[in-house]
A and B are shown apart, each in its own frame.
Chain A
Amino acid sequence: MPQDKMGILFVDDDPKLLEGLRRMLRGKREVWEMAFVVSGREALAVLAGSHIDIIVADYKMPGMNGFELLEKVKDEYPHIRRILLTGQSDEEVFARSGEIVHRYLSKPCEPGVLIETLEHIST
C-alpha cells in the first residue's frame, strides 16, 4: 500500500451502508486507500495488517460496539484518528465520547461534511 495515500477504515454492521459510502467516496480513490468491514473483530484484523490513519466506526454493532472498538484502537494504535459515526443520540455515548473519539458524526451525514471532516482530521 503506497505511503502517500491516506488509509481510512470504515466499520459498520450494515453492508449496504458500507457500499453506499464506497460508491459515494469513489472520487477520493486517488488520494485515499479505503477499507470497509462489518464488525469490530474484522476491523481489528485489518488494523493489524494495514496502514490506517483514520477509523470511522458505527456505534451500535453486535458483539463489540463502536465505542469499545475505538477504546481498543486508542490503546493499541493511539496515532489513529478516531471518528464515531452513529444514529444514536444516547447521552451516555456523548458523555464518554470526549476522551475516546476525535470527532463525532451523526447519521445521516451529508457527503460534503464527511469528506471535509476526513480531510481536516488528517492534517
Chain B
Amino acid sequence: MNGIDAMKSKRILIVEDEIPTAMYLRGILEGRGYSVAGAVATGEEALARFKAEQIDLVLMDIILEGEMDGIETSRRIKKLRDVPIIYLTASTDERNLSRAMETEPHGYLIKPIDEYELYSTVETTLIRDSLEKKIRESEEKYRTLVGNLNDVLLTVDTAGTITYISPVIERMSGYMVDEISGRNFTDFIHPDDLHALLESFTSTLKGDLAPSEFRMLDRDGTVRHMRSSSRPIVEKGEVVGLSTLMTDITDRKMLEAEKDRFLADLAERTKELGCLYNISKIFENRELPLNAILKEMTKAIPEAWQYPDMVQARIVYDGREYRPRNFSQKAHAITADIVVRGEKAGYVQVSYREKRTTQSEEPFLAEEQKLLDVIVERLGTIIEHKQADEELRIARREIESLLAAITSILIQVSTKDQVIRWNRIAEITFGIPASAVLNRKFSQCSIKWEWDNIYEGIFYCIAEDKPVRLDEIVYVRPDGKKRFLGITVNPIKDVDDTLMGFLLFGTDITERKNMESQLLQAQKLESIGQLAAGIAHEINTPTQYVNDNVHFLQGAFADYQRLHERCDLLVAAVREEGTTVEMAKQIESIKGEIDFPFINEEIPKAIEQSIDGLGRISRIVQSMKQFSHPGTDNKVDEDINKALENTVAISRNEWKYVADVETDYDPDIPRVPCFPGELNQVFLNILVNAAQAIEEKNRGSDEKGVIRISTSQVESSVEIRISDTGKGVPPDIQSKVFDPFFTTKAVGKGTGQGLAISHAVIVEKHGGTISLESEMGKGTIFTIRLPLEG
C-alpha cells in the first residue's frame, strides 16, 4: 500500500468559525491534493455533516460559536464513529487542553498554523488511523467469524505426547488427526520458540497459568502463529497432563508486523519529511541570500539520512564550495547536479564521515539517491527563483530610482480609486505627505484643484483607453498661490491587457505659461518695432505734404491780401470817380506778380490734400491704437473685418511697395469672441509674411503682387483666408512652419516665431484651426477658422 497517495482520497471536515482561517486551511489541504468535505462554523453543523457523509478526519477549532465548543462536538462525534480529530486552537489553556485530551485527539495544532506542520500532522494522522482501523477490523472479523471455528482443543500428557486434538487442526495445518495423535507436541513447534514453550509447559504443569504465544509449523512447513492457554488435567489429585485451547493468530501477527513495518516506515518518512520541511523553511526565507541558503542546506540535508550524525553534505555551486567545518573527504558518496535554467551549475554531494563497516559495497540506498535528487532539483528551482527575484529586484530598484529622479508629479491610482504611488514631487507640490494618501481613496485626497476637469480626463482616459492631456489645470499651492498644472492621464494595463488603474503625470507649467506669454509679448514688440519705421513713414509722408501745403497757403494768403488791398483801393476810387484805369492796371500787375491763376487753382487742391493727409495721419494713429489693443483676460466679441482693416492699415508700409491688397469682407459675419490683441498679432504676422514672400519672388522687378483677404461664415465658424502671390513654401517645410523654434530667418532677424505663436493663439487660445496650402512660385493661402461659440 502506498500510504501517502492513498490518503488523498480521505475526506476532511474543517470545523472553524473564523472564515479566513477556514479558507486558509482549505487552500493548503486542497493544494496538497486532499479532499475537503467542507468547512463549517458550528458544532451542530459539524454533527449534521458528520451524520450525512463519510468523514475521515476532522480539523476542529476548540472555541466555536454556538452551544457546543470543539471539545464537546468532538465527544459527540466520537460517540457516533471513531474518527481521528486534530484540534486547532490559539489557546494554550491548561483546562481546555486536559478536557481535549480526554477525547483522545490525534493531534493538536496551535494557531497560527504553519503550512508544513498542518500537512505533516494530517498525513501522519491519516496513515496511523488507517493502520489502526485495519488492525481493529481484522481482529473483530477474526473474533466474530473465524475465532470460534479456529479454536483448537488438545490434551497432552506430562511428557508432551498429544492425546487428543480436535479435527479443526486438519483444515488449519494440513495434518490429519491421526498424524498428530500420539506424537509429541514439540515436533510441531518452530525451533526458535521451543525453548520458551517448554518452560511455559513445565510451569503450567506446576499450576502457573500463563498464556503463550508460539509458532508452529504446518504440514507444508508454513509458519503459523498460535496463542494458547492451558490448564492442568488433574486425576486423583495428580497432574496427568494439560488441556490446551489454541487459537490461530497468524493473521493478527502478520498485521502487527505490517503495522510495525509501517510505523518504522513512517518514522523514516517523518525524518525525510522533517528534512524536507527544514529545507523548505530555508527556501521560504526570501531574505536569505543564496550563499546562506547553500550553507544552511549542508546542515539540513543529513537529517534525512539513516544516521544523520555520520552523514555530511557539501555543495559546489558557481565555483564555490559549501561544506561543514569538520568535513572529511570519503570515497563513498552520492551526488546530484544542480541544474539552473537547463545548465549544470554545480552539485550536491552526500557522504559518510567514516568508512562504514557494513558488508555492502555501496552504503547508500536507492531511496537516498532519489531523495537527494528531489532536494537538488528543488534547489535548482529555488536558485532560478532567486536569480529571477534578484533580476526583479534590480529592475524594481532601477525603476524606483528612475521614478525618484522624475521631476514631475507622479500619482498612481488603482481601478478601486486607491492611491498606490505618490511621489516626492506630489508631496511638495500639494503639501500632502504620501503617508496621508497611500492606500486611501484618491477622490478623497485633499488636493485643491479643478476636480471636474481631472475626473473628466480620467473618464476619457479609461473610456477611450489612451493617454489624455489636461492643460492648464488650476491648483492651489500650499502657500495659497494659484498655479497651473499640465497633466497627462495614462491608463495602466496588466500583462493581459486588463486595466489596473491610471497614472497622473503632472508638471507645474506656470513658469512655462509665463514664458509663453513673454514670448508672445516679445514677438508683439518685435513686429510693432518692425512696423514702427513703416508707420513713421506712413505718417511722415502726409505730414511732409500737409506741412508744405500749409506753408504754401501761408504765402498764397499774403499774396491774396496784397491783391485785396488793391481791390479795396479800386473800389474807393470808383466811388470817388478817380483814376480807375490806373487802379485796374495795378491790380493786373499784382495778379501777374502773384501768379494769380496758379494760386487760384492750387489753393483748393492744397486744402483738399491737406485734409486728406491729416485724415491719413489720424487713421494710422487710430489703427495703431486699436492694433495694440491692451491684453484682456477674457474674450470679447470683436468685429473681425474691422480688425483686419486696422491690421492692413498699420502694415501698409510693409506691403504697399510690393503688393496691392484686395479685400473681400463679408459684411454679415457675426462678431467673434476672441482676444483681439493676440488675434491682430496673428493677422499681422501672416500679412507681413505674405508681403515678404511676394518681395522675395519679385525682387529686382517692378512687378507687384496681390494679397487677398476675405472673410466668410462657414458653419459655426468665421473663416479668414489670406492669400499671396509670393514664392510659396517648400513642401518639406510646410508641416514645420507652425512648430516652435522652427525658423527660416537668419540669426539676428527677429525671433522667427511668428507662425508658431500664431498657431498657439488660434488653436490653444481660441480653439480654432490654422492651415496653409502652398505651391512653389504661385503663392500661399493661410486659412484660419475661429469658432463662434467661446
Q: Please give the residue numbers on chain A whose beta carbons come within 8 Å of chain B beta carbons, in ascending order.
A: 12-14, 16-17, 19-21, 23-24, 26-27, 41, 60-64, 86-90, 106-111
Q: Is the CB of B605 within 8 A of A108?
A: no
Across the interface, which residues of A come within 8 angstroms of B602, CB to CB?
A: 23
A40 nearest CB neighbor, chain B only: B702
- Can you list 11 A-B pairs with a CB-CB distance of less than 8 A? A12-B541, A14-B541, A16-B612, A17-B548, A19-B545, A21-B548, A24-B547, A64-B702, A90-B533, A107-B540, A108-B540
CB distance from A71 to the nearest CB of B (A): 14
A18 nearest CB neighbor, chain B only: B545
Q: Is the CB of B541 within 8 A of A111?
A: no
Q: Beyond A16-B609, A87-B540, list 7 extra A-B contacts (CB 8 Å).
A: A13-B657, A16-B612, A20-B547, A20-B609, A23-B548, A62-B658, A86-B537
Q: Contacts A23-B549, A23-B606, A108-B547: A88 and B702 contacting too (C-beta < 8 A)?
A: no
CB distance from A21 to the nearest CB of B (A): 6
Q: Is the CB of A87 within 8 A of B701?
A: no
Residue B546 CB within 8 A of the other chain: yes
Across the interface, which residues of B come within 8 angstroms of A26, CB to CB?
A: 552, 555, 595, 598
Q: Is the CB of A21 within 8 A of B598?
A: no
Q: Is the CB of A107 within 8 A of B555?
A: no
Q: Is the CB of B544 within 8 A of A17?
A: yes
Residue B787 CB within 8 A of the other chain: no
CB distance from B561 to the nearest CB of A (A): 16
Within 8 A of A (CB), among B600-635: 602, 605-606, 609, 612-613
CB distance from B534 to the nearest CB of A (A): 8
Q: Is the CB of B704 within 8 A of A89?
A: no
Complex partner residue of A61 from B598, B605, B657, B704, CB under 8 angstroms: B657
Residue in B545, B612, B657 whose Cβ sees the most chain A Cβ within 10 Å: B545
Residue B527 CB within 8 A of the other chain: no
Q: Is the CB of B547 within 8 A of A62?
A: no
Residue B536 CB within 8 A of the other chain: yes
Q: Is the CB of B702 within 8 A of A107?
A: no
Question: What CA separation (Å) do A101 and B606 show in the bound complex?
Answer: 31
Q: Contacts A89-B536, A107-B540: A21 and B547 contacting too (C-beta < 8 A)?
A: no
Question: What CA separation (Å) do A24 and B555 show in the bound complex?
Answer: 9
Question: What CA separation (Å) do A85 and B398 show in the bound complex?
Answer: 72
CB distance from B544 to the nearest CB of A (A): 4
Question: What CA separation (Å) do A8 and B536 show in the bound complex?
Answer: 26
Complex partner residue of B549 from A13, A24, A61, A86, CB under 8 angstroms: A24
Q: Contacts A19-B609, A60-B657: A111 and B548 contacting too (C-beta < 8 A)?
A: yes
Q: Contacts A60-B657, A62-B704, A63-B702: A88 and B533 contacting too (C-beta < 8 A)?
A: yes
CB distance from B742 to the nearest CB of A (A): 26
Across the interface, which residues of B come within 8 angstroms of A61, CB to CB?
A: 657
Complex partner residue of B543 from A12, A19, A89, A108, CB under 8 angstroms: A108
Q: Is the CB of B702 within 8 A of A20?
A: no
Q: Contacts A107-B540, A107-B544: A24 and B551 contacting too (C-beta < 8 A)?
A: yes
Across the interface, which residues of B come within 8 angstroms of A111, CB to CB?
A: 547-548, 551
Residue B241 CB within 8 A of the other chain: no
Complex partner residue of A24 from B552, B598, B612, CB under 8 angstroms: B552
Across the interface, which residues of A come within 8 angstroms of B609, CB to CB?
A: 16, 19-20
Question: What CA separation (Å) do A86 and B541 show in the bound complex?
Answer: 9
A114 nearest CB neighbor, chain B only: B548
Interface 1/0 per residue, B529-570 and A, CB below 8 Å: 000010011111111111111011001000000000000000
